[in-house]
């Protein structure tokens, strides 16, 4: 048990270090692949430059006015800003990220986008979401669950914070086969 938890802690440290080391601007090429030029034109450049996802979870979330949305592993805030625009000032968007510096970037981008009044960004882990039970309508997440060594714990947390009838929209990487030990123990594979 202790060894297992230490291993999970080690993976989280590897992921944290990898994302803390990413240079500013690395996300622009990612954003161009995932979102249309029209929507990127209306997004603050810092959010575009920190886009590090693998899809567009807000597009599939069918968000409505006034809903409360949680963006897990929000990074620089691009999806949280899309969500904030979709739910409007009557709604609320909460971004959670392991790194405080990602939360700071997301706060600055949300302010530039004019949605700061109904967005907030909290440092925290998806395996221990810093929110009460049954407090959000929709969970979105983009490229984050694959980085967790405790995916079932993260999923249990998502179901804990969702209100009855809540929804999830997750874009992520999946494997449909066993990974070889050299991949399972590769720091680059975990972080990437």
The binding site for ligand SAM (CB under 6 A) comprises 12, 15, 19, 51-53, 73-75, 78-79, 97-99, 102, 125-127, 142-144, 147-148
Closest approach of ligand SAM to the CB of residue 144, in Å: 4
Closer Cβ to ligand SAM, 67 or 97, answer by number: 97
Give the residue among 40, 76, 79, 36 at the shortest CA–CA distance from 61. 79
Closer Cβ to ligand SAM, 5 or 90, answer by number: 5
Alpha-carbon distances, residue 157 vs 102, 125, 185 (angstroms): 21, 10, 26
| Assigned token pair, 135 | 């407090």
**Whole-angstrom Cα distance, residue 9 to residue 125?**
12
Give the residue among 89, 90, 87 at the shortest CA–CA distance from 70. 87
Closer Cβ to ligand SAM, 52 or 94, answer by number: 52
**Whole-angstrom Cα distance, residue 114 to residue 118?**
9
Closer Cβ to ligand SAM, 164 or 175, answer by number: 175
**Whole-angstrom Cα distance, residue 102 to residue 75?**
5
Closest approach of ligand SAM to the CB of residue 75, in Å: 3
Q: What share of the chain is helix, strand, coil (3-state, %, to 5)?
A: 45, 20, 35
Closest approach of ligand SAM to the CB of residue 104, in Å: 12
Beta strands in 62-101, from DSSP E residues, in sequence order: 68-72, 92-97
Closer Cβ to ligand SAM, 52 or 158, answer by number: 52
Closer Cβ to ligand SAM, 67 or 71, answer by number: 71
Closest approach of ligand SAM to the CB of residue 116, in Å: 18
Closest approach of ligand SAM to the CB of residue 127, in Å: 6
Closest approach of ligand SAM to the CB of residue 38, in Å: 19
């Amino acid at each position: 048990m202790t060894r297992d938890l230490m291993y999970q802690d080690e993976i989280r440290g590897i992921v944290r270090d990898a994302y803390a080391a990413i240079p500013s601007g690395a996300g622009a090429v990612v954003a161009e692949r995932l979102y249309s030029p029209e929507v990127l034109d209306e997004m603050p450049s810092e959010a575009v430059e920190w886009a590090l996802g693998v899809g567009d979870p807000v597009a599939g979330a069918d968000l409505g006015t006034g809903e409360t949305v949680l963006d897990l592993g929000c990074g620089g805030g691009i999806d949280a800003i899309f969500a904030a625009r979709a739910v409007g000032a009557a709604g609320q968007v909460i971004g959670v990220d392991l790194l405080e510096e990602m939360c700071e970037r997301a706060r600055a981008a949300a302010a530039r986008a004019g949605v700061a009044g109904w967005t907030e960004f909290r440092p925290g882990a998806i395996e221990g979401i810093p929110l009460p039970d049954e407090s959000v309508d929709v969970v979105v997440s983009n490229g984050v669950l694959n980085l967790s060594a405790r995916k079932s714990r993260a999923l249990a947390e998502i179901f804990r914070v969702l209100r009855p009838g809540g929804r999830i929209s997750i874009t992520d990487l999946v494997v449909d086969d066993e990974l070889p030990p050299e991949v399972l123990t590769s720091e680059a594979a975990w972080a990437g």
